[in-house]
Amino acid sequence: LKLVLCARPGTIPPQFAATMGDAMDVVVVGSCNTDLISYVTRMPMPGETLNGKRFETGFGGKGANQCVMAAKLGARTAMVGKVGEDIFGKDTVKNFESLGVDTQFLTTTSERATGCAPIVVNDSGQNSIIVILGANELLSEADVAAAKAMIGGAKVVVCQHEVPIETTIAALRIADAAGVTSIFNPAPAQPPLPTEAFTLPSVFCVNETEAQLFTGIEVTDAASAEAAGTKLMAMGCKTVLLTLGENGVMFLQPGQPTLSVPAVKVKAIDTSGAGDSYIGALAFYLSKGSLGWEEALRRANTIAAESVQAHGTQSSYKSKADLPKELFLFPKL
């Protein structure tokens, strides 16, 4: 199946809701890290030693975050990834299993430690992150091939850029060949990307900084965001989703007007993992297949806004039971 435009403007294509019996709602192919979080009044200056306020550890990695968000919302999820044979890796597997995530293709290696991410968060909720990829760098095309049936039978496949790009492309090829909806979030941005990274995913999702790195267009307002999105479409993307922080999101698709959805205004405590929360929530809503684009994007905005009002990454993600019931009402197909 190919990605097709809908007969009715703003409606998600039918294949976004593939129904295949035991099919996973969301399969994430990507990274698993342990977050090492330091809270400070302000960010340290170069060469400065600064006393922190407190320290926490948590589960992270963009792939794991997106997977956990989808699972907490009620999606049947699976994680395709790699961790080290260390306590961080063992705890990561236990965390997934406690949330009902399928881990049969989450493998371990003795060659690298589990990935980790030292994070600094200041009083305004802004963060600075260093990612040590570790075992994530060893997730291979062979690992993806082993999970081919699960990936090809999923409703939505999600990929990021914290594992080798060849591995990501292999997963996107499987999804594309099977007509499965895929979301590629090329973060952290490391241009240039191969052409297939733009042309294979159903949704190419970037923030302002990533959009600038891939297009050369500085995103400072709605006009420049649309210009960057238009250039990404010209580079072969099927659809483009720009996440613009407090300015909401912008969505571009062929033959339709650009769609802008405002952010939910809240007081941010910690923005760590907010983008991953958004993508995980969007994957959940796309797997349902009965919402128009605007409503799916709006609900994902609401979920992400909830996440920035608490500390941590995955620990800030609310479960279905703790969210308004109207977020889980869906039109019948």
Residues assigned a catalytic role: 276
**CA–CA dist 291, 278 (Å, integer):** 16
- Give the list of residues 6+ apart from residue 117 with CB closer than 8 angstroms, or none: 33, 34, 35, 36, 60, 61, 129, 130, 131, 132
The neighbour count for residue 322, using CB atoms within 10 Å, is 9
Local structure of 149: helix, strand or coil: helix
Which residues, at least 6 apart from 279, have a Cβ–Cβ distance to it below 8 Å? 66, 69, 158, 183, 185, 205, 300
Residue 260: φ, ψ to 5°: -115, 130
Sheet holding 181-185, edge to edge: 106-109, 77-84, 26-29, 156-160, 181-185, 203-207, 240-243, 249-252, 259-261
